[in-house]
Amino acid sequence: MADPERLWCPSGSAYAPESLVLAVRDGLDGPPLYLPAPRPAAEALAELADGVEPRRLLRLASHCVPHCLNRAGESCTLATRLTATASPPAPLPPCHLRPRCRWWIQSGPPACRACPQVSTRPGQGAREAR
């Protein structure tokens, strides 16, 4: 991953230069199937059909940015909301982002367990991001 000093957002932009694909969704808006290794988003975006919103099929990560609507100082309010309700104990999903993930560093295992449930399309799914 580029710039290892920066924290990453597991609900990131598809178009940031450093963006990575962490998972591919099982069908439009389906659960994410994590890749064995992250892939540059630019490569995956080139393979999408015209008109498909990238976040409907791809789970993307990019640098956590200060101007994000989910930021409050150095904290991510989305991670806080995700972990506000107890989720049942479950194995952590595989993730290459974890060592530099803002959600993991801020909220630990509960954020990781909730991460696959996040929908990055407003109005879709139980939880929403960005």
State the pLDDT confidence band at 15, using cuts at 50, 70 and 90.
Answer: very high
Q: Cβ(85)–Cβ(61) under 8 Å? A: no
Whole-prediction pTM: 0.80
33-73 pLDDT, tens per residue? 889 999 999 999 999 888 888 888 888 999 999 888 999 98
Handedness of CA 122, 94, 33, 87 (dihedral sign): negative
Which of 107, 105, 129 has its CA nearest to residue 116? 129
